[in-house]
Amino acid sequence: MPKDFKTYKEQLEILKEKGLVIHDESYAISKLKDISYFALINGYKQIFKKADGKYVDNASFEDIVKLFHFDEELRALMLKYILKIERKMKSFISYYFSAKYPNSLDYLDANNYQYKTVQNRETIHSLIHILNVTAKSNDYRYIEHYNVKHSGEIPLWVLVNALSFGKISKIYSVSQQSIQQKISDEFGDISNAELETMLSILALFRNACAHNERLFDFQVIRASLKDNKILNQLEVPKNGNNYSCGGNDFFSIVVCFKQLLTAKDFDQFFSQFQMLLDSLEFFTANITKSDILRHMHFPSNWESIKVIDLTVL
């Protein structure tokens, strides 16, 4: 059934009828104007609602706004550290691919990827098309410079800077196994397949951050961590082959960060994340830290991840 247009005042009345406390209607209307009813209320109401559709006692409009801004800060925090891994992957892929295939345009040759694997061929052709189009683009000054000064031969270490994390993930997934191995070795004891899964998860979370999607309970559908040594160390239970948490949810990103970031960067992320949780609990009467962590699918012993020594697992 179609939804009729509602004025800001009418939207507030709907919320009040469902039991949401609105302390300042002028403030509430200003937030509806800034964010929109759908993005704010539909996006963040669920944690404050009971099974009958009514809001829990004393839940307020301000609580929903606080959760919205928590998620906003969470996206900024996660993107900061995902970008560190993205930058590192661009460096490794351009270095190790170019070391094996040193001619400037070798990345446009399908035979330089895992082309003998039939299921990769469509991905490889699509990827080469994108690389070719990007190499001819005038949208990036450094590419335009190489097109003018070097007869259009854009080396991979230049081109990767214009590629999305998703495309970098694709390059890794179809690169020769010897190249994959050299890159995965850079991160310690991680298999090629495990790194490929991590990159897929990170790329999808990066997109969620970039597109302002709700992040705290975001889950990936097409990829999941399997037989992960950190999740095993934390004794996260499994449902069949899938972890009950940490496989494809927000905690999976924390696991990826632990294995792919430097120890210093991970410690910084961990501290900043804890401060963000503390701030939400301090400024919001109706959300506890345990509430939000449950919605984020964290195991109860999640903080132990900080002291796990990857060198002995």
pLDDT string in tens for the chain (313-residue length): 667 899 999 999 999 999 999 999 999 999 999 999 999 999 999 999 998 989 999 999 999 999 999 999 999 999 999 999 999 999 999 999 999 999 989 999 999 999 999 999 999 999 999 999 999 888 888 888 888 887 778 999 999 999 999 999 999 999 999 999 999 999 999 999 999 999 999 999 999 999 999 999 999 998 999 999 999 999 999 998 899 999 999 999 999 999 999 999 999 999 999 999 999 988 887 888 999 999 999 999 999 999 999 988 7
CA 172 to chain centroid, in Å, comes to: 18
Domain assignment of residue 127, yes or no: yes
Q: What count of Cα atoms within 13 Å lies in the side-chain half-sphere of residue 172? A: 31
Does residue 249 belong to any structural domain of this protein?
yes
Q: What is the pLDDT of residue 312?
A: 82
| Domain assignment present for 172 | yes
pLDDT at 281: 87
Nearest-angstrom CA–CA distance, 146 and 127: 21
Per the CB < 8 A criterion, the answer to whether 291 and 298 are in contact is no
Domain total for the chain?
1
Q: Residue 160's domain spans which residues?
A: 69-312
H helix or E strand, kind and range, residue 230: helix 229-233
Query: pTM here?
Result: 0.94
Task: Confirm whether 82 is domain-assigned.
Answer: yes
Distance CA 123, CA 279 (A): 44
Which segments within the chain are labelled E, that is strand? 238-239, 242-243
Q: Is residue 20 part of a domain?
A: no
Cβ proximity of 276 and 296 under 8 Å: no
Q: How far apart are CA 102 and CA 49, in angstroms?
A: 59
Tell me if 79 is assigned to some domain.
yes
* Contact call for residues 228 and 246 (beta carbons, < 8 A): yes
- Distances in Å between the Cα of 256 and the Cα atoms of 184, 199, 228, 303, 305 are 13, 9, 10, 15, 11
Q: Is residue 222 part of a domain?
A: yes
| Domain-embedded: residue 16 | no
Q: How far apart are CA 274 and CA 298, in angstroms?
A: 13
In the beta sheet, which residues pair with residue 243?
A: 238
Tokens of 45: 């109401």
Residue 151 confidence (pLDDT)? 73
pLDDT of 42: 94
